[in-house]
Structure 1
Amino acid sequence: MEKPQDKVKEPIADYGHYSYADYLSWQLDEMVELIRGNVFRQAAAPRLIHQRISRKIFNPICNFLQGKRCEVFSAPFDVRLPVSSRDPDKIDTVVQPDLCVVCDPEKLDELGCVGAPDLIVEILSPGNNKKEIQLKYEVYETSGVKEYWVVHPDERTLLIYTLETGKYRPSRLFTFGDRIRSQALPGFELDLNEVFGEL
């Protein structure tokens, strides 16, 4: 039986379940993510504050990782979260975190990352869909992402979810005056005055 994706090169919003194989066939001018087979389109380019915060987190992590095994990547960078296979037809989640750190080079290939990064940073935008946010949390948790940071630019806050025995444990809410430490990157500290200052 012929499927819609056999005829077109872009997803149809209300058609069933998509795979990474479908994702690779689409020719789109916009960035999309695939979460549990559902397509989420990015509403618009990130705001200026989003870009500044991303840079202020990326640069210290990048400097810290110099000479180390781990690497940090910024969007657009595909992270495929398969259950147990590298087969594009069996992968139904492809996300583009704002930032991610991968410490296992075996997870990297020319198309991005296959499997859970050690650290993911998501910076919220006005266009973020609540369902998308919830689905990402669940996918990151079940896929084994060790640490997940959620940054709220307008409120100048950062929340860390740390994976413990398969479930995320939330930190307190961090803001100005706080220095945060990462369990996924032992020895790394981030001064939130530098992240949220002069935005």
Structure 2
Amino acid sequence: MVEYQHKEPKIDDISVLEPEATYSYADYLRWSFEERVELIKGKLFRMSSAPRRSHQGISSAIARELLYFLKGKSCKVYYAPFDVRFPENSEDPNAHTYTVVQPDICVVCDHSKLDDAGCKGAPDLIVEILSPSTASKDLNEKYQLYEEHDVKEYWVVYPGEAVLEIYELQNGKYVSQGKFVKEDVVTSKILPGLKLDLSEVFEDVKG
């Protein structure tokens, strides 16, 4: 006797979701509404609908420099929308994976973490560009998430101030390597040889 799997219907209206419920990546895959969301430990977080022009410019500049630097190298650069799943165990199925986020930019050096759905496991480097609606999440929930899952470097960009802060994982905890401004050239411990000129990254930021 053949068993038929019941196919769960798609959900195209975010308002039917319970904000306080716990959701999995399997639930996430059923959502077809236009609004972008992330799951952190099963909790639903809305993303900003349309990043500001300065956000887009900064993201493009950083991604462009990383792509150029990594051309021909093993590490790969990806930028939103790109799903990064953080299962508690690498073999956890979708129904038992409760965290999926869309970093602005990430660098993945371990190709075994990559599949057609995105990245399953911690990227080596993540860049988040703050916006008014996501700043608290990026500085709190995501900071703790990336630290907990051993993302080696976490770059936080403050667009209004034209500042980039780099956190480096040391003994399982993030340690700030400093806040860098428009006049600085930053480097990366996990990407030896990279030199990112922040005057180009913040070229369109006034002040």
TM-score (norm 2): 0.89
State the secondary structure of the residue aligned to 1:173. strand
Q: Are 2:169 and 1:158 aligned?
A: no
Residues 15, 126 of structure 1: alpha-carbon distance in 2 compared, 3 angstrom cutoff: closer
1:14 aligns with 2:15: no
Alignment length, in residue pairs?
194
1:146/1:184 contact within 8 Å kept:
yes
Deviations 1:62-107, CA, capped at 9 Å, x for gaps: 0010110000001000000111134101111100000000001100
CA distance in 2, matches of 1:124, 1:70: 25
Shift in Å, 1:131: 4.2
Take 2:137 and 2:126, find their aligned partners in 1: how far apart are those partners?
18
Partners of 2:138 and 2:187 in 1: how far apart? Answer: 27
Deviation, structure 1 residue 120: 0.2
5+ residue gaps, structure 2: 1-7
- Identify unmatched segments of 5+ residues in structure 1: 1-5
Match of 2:189 in 1: 183
Moved more, 12-21 or 187-196: 12-21
2:84 and 2:137 map into 1 onto residues whose CA distance is 19
C-alpha separation in 2, matches of 1:158 and 1:77: 22
Equivalence for 2:99: 93
CA distance in 2, matches of 1:132, 1:161: 13
When residues 7 and 14 of structure 1 are mapped into structure 2, their CA distance, relative to the original with a 3 A threshold, is: farther
Secondary structure of the residue aligned to 1:193 is helix
**Are the aligned partners of 1:40 and 1:132 in contact in 2 as well (CA < 8 Å)?**
no
Whether 1:64 aligns to 2:58 is no
Structure 2 counterpart of 1:73, one-letter code: Y
TM-score, structure 1 as length reference: 0.92
Q: Percent identity?
A: 51
Letter in 2 for 1:138: Q
CA RMSD, Structure 1 to Structure 2 (Å): 1.6
Find runs of 4+ consecutive structure 1 residues off by over 6 angstroms.
none
How far is 1:132 from its partner? 5.3
Q: Quick check: 2:128–2:138 contact (8 Å CA) kept in 1?
A: no
Larger CA Rg, structure 1 vs 2: 2
Name 1:3's counterpart in structure 2: none
